[in-house]
Amino acid sequence: MSGYDLAVIGLGYVGMPLAKEATGAGLRVVGLDVDQRKVDALNSGHSYIDDLSDADLDSMLGNQFTATLDQAILAASSAIVICVPTPLDEDHRPDLSAVRGAVESVGRYLQRGTLVVLESTTYPGTTDEVVRPILEEASGLTAGVDFHLAFSPERIDPGNAKYGLRNTPKVVGGYTEACRDRAAAFYARFIEQVVTVSGTREAEMAKLLENTYRHVNIALVNEMAIFCDELGVNLWEAIEAASTKPFGFQKFLPGPGVGGHCIPVDPSYLSHAVRKLGYPFRFVELAQEINERMPAYVVARVQRLLNRARKPVNGSRVLLMGVTYKPDIADERETPAVPIARAFRDLGAELAFADPYVKHWTVDGVKVPREDDLREAVERADVTVLLQQHSVFDLEMVEKHAVLLLDTRGVLSEGERVERL
């Protein structure tokens, strides 16, 4: 079997951009996944990732990239990077089952001199306390002596046209200094700037700090949105005014709730780590509470709009515009549109959605009707809720023709029929 410079485990929103940049830099890359459909799609030139076009994938395949289910390729790879999901379980605790499964596979095929890097977001200590023992027991090799072990947090921002993997600084922490240096040299082959820290725990914490910072600040403006409405204060205008300050302030905007993997999930990993010390991480848990109540607040605001028009929610036609978690991408992970749709359905509303990036949408296993003609949809709906401001939406038309409209993104002008969150 011929050798590979890199094996990427987990061919999703993190793994595929990594494989793309490494392949483009001349590395021989193989992708490993447990999903036959993903492997087949990639090998046939069909991308299911927003930031990876079919043309990008064709170029990768032309440069010898291949996807496989065969774990034996790990034995022929000089570097192995693990990019598998780290969700929460039903009790809102970290679920490392995918990480453990991937690491066990690596351990069975691990060779001397191999670099193993975990990129999956997790709590501090995971690389050393969870990954390392599994690798050492399965392989009979010793980290820092027989193989190199490091953690490097992913910083993928789906849909970001300015910052991709190559020009976003890469944080790297190693189990030993030699591990750190080996990992830093590896990433420097296809990433412009590598930032090293003293250990794996610091690298793990850096990722959680980044996302907890956003989580807390989003919760701040979300809570302000609720009481500013009652105070009669235009929070959107206040935020724009505050953002003119050239120092000491960063603009965050309220919304219908937080989505994606990072904001709703990652801070809970940090909270879990703190709780193991015997006390709560109050900032994170309060932010979680505020952000998780936003979908209910959106529904309450819609109820108020309909009530003013002497209409009950029960039997009203409610149109949800944009059901992805970010604008201009198809990613629905942890989208707040789901709890909002669930609440409207429980109240007896007739639901429909409009989203150019989502062809079929189900909530709790029940299909939500899709509207193709946006103008006709907003004219027929008793109330339209703008959840995501996709750039292809004709917002001027929506503003003009909607019967009632709740704008959760602050992009429309308030008026008799239009309210902002």
Catalytic residues: 262
Give the CA-trace dihedral at 410, 414, 418, 421, to 10 degrees.
Answer: 40
Please enumerate in sequence order all residues whose Cβ is within 8 A of that of 140, keeping only pairs 6 or more positions apart, or say none. Answer: none
Name the pairing type of β-strands 405-407 and 383-386. Answer: parallel
Range list of H helices, 381-417: 395-401
Please enumerate in sequence order all residues whose Cβ is within 8 A of that of 87, keeping only pairs 6 or more positions apart, or say none. Answer: 95, 261, 265
Q: SS3 helix, strand, coil % of the chain, rounded to 5? A: 40, 15, 45
Contact between 226 and 257 (Cβ < 8 Å): no
| Main-chain dihedrals φ then ψ at residue 119, nearest 5 degrees | -110, -15
Which among 150, 118, 88 has a CA at the least distance from the CA of 284?
Answer: 88
Neighbours of 345 (CB within 10 A): 16
3-class DSSP string for 160-210: CCCCCCCCCCEEEEECCHHHHHHHHHHHCCCCCCEEEECCHHHHHHHHHHH
Q: Distances in Å between the alpha carbon of 162 and those of 19, 103, 167, 190?
A: 19, 33, 9, 17
| Main-chain dihedrals φ then ψ at residue 254, nearest 5 degrees | -70, 170
Which among 248, 260, 236, 385 has a CA at the least distance from the CA of 327?
Answer: 260
User: 245 is written with which tokens?
Assistant: 């300050």
Tell me how far apart the alpha carbons of residues 201 and 131 are, in angstroms, rounded to a whole number: 13
